Amino acid sequence: MYNMSMFIVKLRNLRSLSKTNKRIAQYFEENLSEGRYLTSSAIAAQLNISQSSISRFATEVMGYGSFREMQLDIENPNDYGIDEIIEKDNGGIIKQKILRQTKDIIELTDSLNDIEIFEKIVDKTIHAHNIICYGMGNSGLFAEYLSNRLIRLGLDSFYSTNSHTVRTNAIKLSNQDLIFILSESGTTEEIIKLAKIAQIKNVPLVSITGDVNSELAMLSDYVLCSFDKTYNYGIDYISMRAAQLHIIDVIFFLIISKEVDKYKQCLYNSRLL
């Protein structure tokens, strides 16, 4: 089993930190065992910063109720481990392992993505004149799924497996449009080409990726983390798909919530096609 502390997962997926918060994050990553037991004032003294900076890091950056709550999570991490499937497993055991994995990865994905980011993305999506959804390989399946969900809501969305066709369409877009890119690694050459076109054309770009520090993420206006690729999840295909599906469905139902009657009618009309 591969165990992961929720604290570590959150820590490794922090972004846009101030200089002080970067120092605090680096301290905990390099001195985790020490950080479990030292007081906030002792850590502050080591870093030559105020105690309140440590407290704010715990509550405002990491999302805990207090510094002590954060320490308790470090001391007693939630087990987000994934059991490998082995030859002697019977059907019932395999079923339970997959069920647990799916549940854990959805909870993990949810914890990595703030609702504020979703709300901003939903607002951009609703008001976009044209939308492109793109992904390669397995991620392409979910890019197509996202595009189809948006079309059912009456939004003008386009998807193609042909990277040249996608880039040709992207060149025509403006800042009134939107591009979604789904990529596990955030480093694929064709993905980066499209992201750079979005940047040149000033088209808002949303990335759904497993690496929030990848080149794709750096080129994006909005980043949603689908899973932490630094961990081996065992049945990783299911993990990644469950994470991407969760993110897409959150976007879909948040859009519906903005004008329920309107989007219910769109969904009804889409069934007639």
Give the full edge-to-edge strand order of the sheet including 205-209. Answer: 157-159, 131-135, 178-183, 205-209, 222-225
* Pair 218, 162 in one domain: yes
Least confident of 53-67, 77-91, 95-109, 193-207: 77-91
* Pair 61, 130 in one domain: no
* Pair 125, 171 in one domain: yes
Question: In sequence order, what are the beta bridge partners of 182?
Answer: 135, 208
Residue where one domain finishes, among candidates 75, 92, 121: 75
* Pair 71, 116 in one domain: no
* Pair 252, 129 in one domain: yes
Determine, yes or no, domain membership for 99: no
Do 196 and 219 touch, CB atoms closer than 8 A?
A: yes
Determine, yes or no, domain membership for 173: yes
* Pair 27, 145 in one domain: no
Predicted pLDDT at 87: 66
How far is it, in rounded angstroms, from Cα 185 to Cα 206?
15
Which domain CATH number covers 21? 1.10.10.10
* Pair 11, 122 in one domain: no
* Pair 16, 121 in one domain: no
How far is it, in rounded angstroms, from Cα 91 to Cα 89?
7
Please check the confidence at residue 2 and state whether its pLDDT lies above 60: no
**Mean per-residue pLDDT over the chain, rounded:** 85
pLDDT, one tens digit per residue, over 141-181 is: 999 999 999 999 999 999 999 999 999 999 999 999 999 99
Crossing angle, helix 163-171 and helix 189-200, to 10 degrees?
10
Predicted pLDDT at 227: 66
Residue where one domain finishes, among candidates 60, 75, 90: 75
The distance of Cα 6 from the centroid of its chain, to the nearest Å, equals: 15
pLDDT, one tens digit per residue, over 195-245 is: 999 999 999 999 999 888 899 999 999 999 886 544 444 445 566 788 899
Determine, yes or no, domain membership for 182: yes
Residue where one domain finishes, among candidates 50, 75, 100: 75
The per-residue DSSP string of 84-116 comes to PP-TT--HHHHHHHHHHHHHHHHHHHHHHS-HH
Determine, yes or no, domain membership for 124: yes
Q: Domain range spanning residue 18?
A: 6-75
Predicted pLDDT at 229: 47
* Pair 146, 244 in one domain: yes
Report the predicted TM-score, pTM, of the whole model to 2 decimal places.
0.71
Count CA within 13 A, CB hemisphere, residue 225: 24
250 confidence band (pLDDT: 50, 70, 90): very high
- Number of domains into which the chain is organized: 2
Which domain CATH number covers 170? 3.40.50.10490
Higher pLDDT residue, 177 or 9?
Answer: 177
